[in-house]
Amino acid sequence: MIINIIFILIVPLLFLGIIIRVKAIWAGRKGASILQPTYDVIKLLRKSEIISSSTGFIFEIASVVSLALLLGASLLVPFGNYHAIISFKGDFILFTYLLAFSKFISTLSSLDTGSSFEGMGASRELSYTAFLEPAFLMIMASLVYATGLGSMSELVASHTVNMSNTWSVIISVLTILGLFIMMLIEGSRVPFDDPTTHLELTMVHEVMVLDNSGPNLAGMTYAGALKMTMYASLISYFVIPWERGLWFVTGFYFLMMFLQAVAVGLIESIMPRFRMSRNLELAIIPLTLVLLVMFALVVYRFGGV
Amino acid sequence: MTITGFVLLTLALVFALTKQTKLFVVSVLTGSVFLIVAAVQTIFFNESVIWLMTLPQPWGTAEMGYTPLSAFFAIIIGFGSSMSVLYGSGYLKKYSREGLSSHLFFLGLLIISMNLTVYLRHSMLFFLAWEMMSLSSFMCILFEHKLSETRKSAIYYFSFMQVSAFFLLIGFGLAYKQTGSFDFGAFQDLGYLPALFIGIGFAIKTGFFPFYSWLPIAYPAAPSHVSGLMSGVMMKTGIYGILLLMAMTNISLTAMYVIAGISLLTAFLGVIHALAESDVKKVIAYSSIENAGIIGLGIAFAHIGLLTEHTVMAGLSMVGLLLHSLNHSLFKPLLFFLSGNISQQTHTREIDQLGGLQKRMPSTGTLFLIGSLAISGMPMFNGFISELFIYLGMLDGLNRNNFNLNIGSILCAAGLTFVGALALFAFVRLYGLVFLGEPRSDKARNAVEVSKSMITTPGILAGLCFLLGLPGSIYLNFFNHILQYQGFWFEITPALTKAFNLVSLVFLIIGILILIMLILRRRIVKEVHPTWGCGYEKPSSRMQYTGNSMIHPLAYFIKPFIKKQDVMNYDKALFPESFTFEAKVHDFIHETLITPVKKAVLAFLNLFAGIQKGNTQVYISYGLVFLLIVLTWAILVVK
């Protein structure tokens, strides 16, 4: 449990650090240390805040509430060889709704500033949510179909890819792809969003936090990284061979997390950002993938083609 | 107990006629308390007093009293009507006393008739109460009858209710033909046809697809305490009716799948209209349709579980739907009452005219936020727990060798999440645009907080929305008696109790985290500056996102389901000086179903318009012709 908590606190910012480092190396630079995001967050935490005169109490509490909700959600996610701190039958419903709640609050805080940019960000973020939430729940429901209603840890762990079974490979690959795209969208990475751009018209998440500064911004940065890590952790579970003992599994888990961070970095380096007006159509990809997963499971259940 | 309750409620009618608002409120409150106590006794101690009344032939014997199921709805009705009356007494202060007595009288009558619908178990008496409920609510809507809009809406509502009554009457008639009795107790294994008619009658009241188009027209027209009462409480009589019908009918799996599909469609159409509407009250009214859909999904899955002998699925869905009915009767009136506060202080309900109200009306704003969170099903509020029950019910049915059910469960669960996400969008948009940012007009800029009497009632409701959302596991046992009575009993496994306890634990941890971080935040130094506008120095409220621009990204996807019309008026001159723009959302059902039917009926009736000449002599000659016909018929046939 304590190890889990340490994971939750440390891994997200390292994950972000690796992505940035990969991008730098690809671009031919030496790049900052992978601890740089951690230093940034610590620096931001010590600064004072600038608050817009239009805002009220929502803006004041938003970052705190949304971070607390995400931390609450992270209790349900398994990290490493360990089961999630809290897991029960159907906990993925709570997980989905906690994520939604954190979005509710953070979009409200951006509307609170009365800025047109932030309204735009809120509108885009919520539009993505409308397609991501059902996709996530459908992935989980499809997994439930194969093994019966269980907790999120059990569900992902019982679907580890089995190389000798074609259907298992198909299902895992599709699920991983779906979750990975969801991670990119939720973590506001290229090609759906660009965390480094300063052209407001093309941004989604970043434009929502324009008026946040100091500890507020630190909270938001960490929350974004935490969200990505949670998805990455779920993805790792589809690949880890469980029977190999504690050290092997833990090592493998870290390797998977590292590889995913590298993958995100590479995607960011070699892919251009999608056109904003077509973005939402692409946000439906996870939903389509999930439908494929569901059909694959159904066919698998009925004994293959 | 119940008799005292009804007597007190009748006494309220007398106070209404003498315009003694305070006494009216007191007697409605005490009457409701008596009825609630009787209902609680029925649910928990099985102590139900049944009255028998012998009616003249052929009506048989009428049974009156609570069953555990109707007692649960009696609690919703009793509590909801007390809240509505309490809020109404504050809300009506702003209006002149002219017409007050008739309004209060019909409000009292509405409350009595709603209580009677769940109390009577004889189809014809039930029908009478049902009609009385429709008529009195129609009169309640007409409170501001001087506005032509209100009159039009009330008539629209009235005709829908008459159609509903028509279907019910036919259904009860057919049921009598089949069973030879008017007693609900004797209605067993009703055939396909009576069940369909009765079902449509109840579906119209609840607002299921394709009969929901009256909700967004009637609710906004009514004064806020009445719209809260109608959507929060009166709609539940429809749900009660459907549950009653399910128990009386031979249900088939196919029918349940159809109901699940209809419910999902209802929820979806309700929520996308809520997204697109720009009238505060209409958004809330459309979200009523969405909630009706969610409850409908619960009904469908509860009975699917019953038919496939999957008790856990049936039980959990049943608990979910009952709990959601209760929760909806808390947060829906809350939102309607608060929208009444908004419209009374700003004299507008247009989202694009409002904004920045959180600073001007802090209590209203905070309570509205709680209501929005609860209605979007956010964790830590009551809406989440009931949706969780419905989800668990759906997903618990998986992994059984029933292909249709499995695919149905997955798709319905995903559909429910989709609807939930859109509801979240709709309420972020509603709360964010109305209460946050800068005011978009002078009406909003000059708004001030309402008086205390209009805050306390919503305050109670909001408190309950929060408190009822925290403990999940107590509900498992709470509904035991009702489930047993309705045949939905299921075994509560320790794993299930543990799951709900852990949900509460997560809430507790989150609450503690929020507290700790808020305390830490107090040490931060803050500076106040205007919102960053890309270096632009003169930000104005017109730059903010509007209700329309907010949903623009999604508009592409919901376009096929929504008919939106932009009306632009401007001078054709080179330098146009005046410019008006209006975006209208047309209801899909209203346009494609109701209007053609209305036109057809009118065209048919117009065929006979020639009969009415307005001339007494002509009418007398009609009588003569009629008598001649009857005479000839009598002579020819009788012979």
- The nearest CA of chain A is from the CA of B568 a distance in Å of 23
Check CB contact under 8 Å for B539 and A90: no
Check CB contact under 8 Å for B528 and A53: yes
Of B378, B517, B527, nearest to A100 by CB-CB distance is: B378
pLDDT at B39: 87
Q: How confident is the model at residue B537 (pLDDT cuts 50, 70, 90)?
A: low
Nearest chain B residue to A113 by CA distance is B437
> Which token pair is B254?
């196919």
pLDDT at A304: 57
Phi-psi region of B46 (alpha: psi -120 to 50; beta: other; left: phi over 0): left
pLDDT at B306: 86
Task: Tell me if residue A1 falls in helix, strand or coil.
Answer: coil
Asked if B51 contacts B65 with a C-beta cutoff of 8 angstroms, the reply is: yes
Check CB contact under 8 Å for B545 and A146: no
**Does the complex come out with an ipTM higher than 0.90?**
yes
> Which token pair is A257?
């997390």
Strands B526-529 and B563-570: unpaired
Check CB contact under 8 Å for A116 and B545: yes
Task: Count how many residues are written for chain B.
Answer: 639
pLDDT (tens, 9 = 90+) of chain A, 305 residues, equals 787 888 888 889 999 999 989 989 998 988 888 899 999 999 998 888 888 888 888 888 888 999 999 999 998 888 876 678 888 888 889 999 999 999 999 999 988 888 888 888 888 888 888 888 888 888 888 888 777 778 888 787 777 777 777 777 888 888 888 889 889 888 888 777 777 766 656 677 777 888 888 888 898 889 989 999 999 988 888 888 777 777 888 888 888 889 999 999 998 888 887 777 777 778 888 888 888 888 877 777 776 55
Provide mean pLDDT across the span B118-137. Answer: 90
Reply yes or no on whether the pLDDT at B424 is more than 90. yes
Check CB contact under 8 Å for A133 and B545: no
Check CB contact under 8 Å for B499 and A214: no
pLDDT at B276: 85
For an interface test with B, the pick among A47, A54, A138 (most B C-beta atoms closer than 10 Å) comes out as A54
Q: How confident is the model at residue B535 (pLDDT cuts 50, 70, 90)?
A: low
CA B374, CA B422: separation in Å to the nearest integer? 14
Check CB contact under 8 Å for A126 and B424: yes
Which long-range contacts (C-beta less than 8 Å, at least 24 apart) are formed by B146-152?
Answer: B149/B221, B150/B221
H or E stretch including B613? Answer: none
CA B261, CA B265: separation in Å to the nearest integer? 6
* Model confidence pLDDT, tens digit, residues B506-531: 999 999 999 999 888 888 888 888 87
pTM recorded for the entire structure: 0.91
Q: Return the CA Rg of chain B.
A: 26
Q: What residues of chain B lie within 8 A of the CB of A131, using their CB?
A: 418, 421
pLDDT > 90: percent of chain B: 26
Mean of per-residue pLDDT scores for chain B? 86
Please identify which residue in the block is written with the tokens 């501001």: B144
Check CB contact under 8 Å for A129 and B424: yes
Provide mean pLDDT across the span B171-177. Answer: 88
Q: What angle do CA B573, B578, B584 make, to 5 degrees?
A: 115
Check CB contact under 8 Å for B395 and A108: no
CA B530, CA B551: separation in Å to the nearest integer? 26
CA B30, CA B34: separation in Å to the nearest integer? 6
Provide mean pLDDT across the span B331-338. Answer: 92
pLDDT at B266: 92
Of B396, B407, B418, nearest to A149 by CB-CB distance is: B396
Provide mean pLDDT across the span B93-101. Answer: 78
Who contacts B586 (Cβ-Cβ below 8 Å, separation ≥6)?
B562, B563, B564, B565
Task: Tell me if residue A296 falls in helix, strand or coil.
Answer: helix
CA A288, CA A281: separation in Å to the nearest integer? 11
CA B100, CA A130: separation in Å to the nearest integer? 45
Largest CA-CA distance found in chain B, in angstroms, rounded: 105
**Number of compact structural domains in chain A:** 1
The string over A39-55, giving b where at least 16 C-beta atoms fall within 10 Å of a residue's C-beta and e elsewhere, is ebbeebbeeebebbebb
Reply yes or no on whether the pLDDT at B593 is more than 90. no
- The nearest CA of chain B is from the CA of A272 a distance in Å of 21
Asked if A135 contacts A182 with a C-beta cutoff of 8 angstroms, the reply is: yes
Of A94, A112, A137, nearest to B436 by CB-CB distance is: A112
Asked if A179 contacts A235 with a C-beta cutoff of 8 angstroms, the reply is: yes
Q: How confident is the model at residue B369 (pLDDT cuts 50, 70, 90)?
A: very high
Of B436, B514, B527, nearest to A65 by CB-CB distance is: B514
Task: Tell me if residue B470 falls in helix, strand or coil.
Answer: coil
Q: How far is CA A193 from CA A6, A184, A286, B90, B265, in A?
A: 29, 8, 16, 50, 32
β-bridge partners, B52: B63
Check CB contact under 8 Å for B499 and A68: no
Asked if B210 contacts B249 with a C-beta cutoff of 8 angstroms, the reply is: no
Of B410, B524, B530, nearest to A49 by CB-CB distance is: B524
Reply yes or no on whether the pLDDT at B639 is more than 70. no
Q: How confident is the model at residue B372 (pLDDT cuts 50, 70, 90)?
A: very high
pLDDT at B511: 92
CA A179, CA A156: separation in Å to the nearest integer? 12
* Model confidence pLDDT, tens digit, residues B458-512: 999 999 989 888 887 888 888 888 888 888 887 888 888 888 888 889 999 999 9
**Nearest in space to B365 (alpha carbons), one of B421, B302, B436, B461:** B436
- The nearest CA of chain A is from the CA of B399 a distance in Å of 5
Cβ pairs A/B, distance under 8 A: 246
Q: What residues of chain A lie within 8 A of the CB of B529, using their CB?
A: 50-53
Q: How confident is the model at residue B73 (pLDDT cuts 50, 70, 90)?
A: very high
Domain extent for A156: 2-301
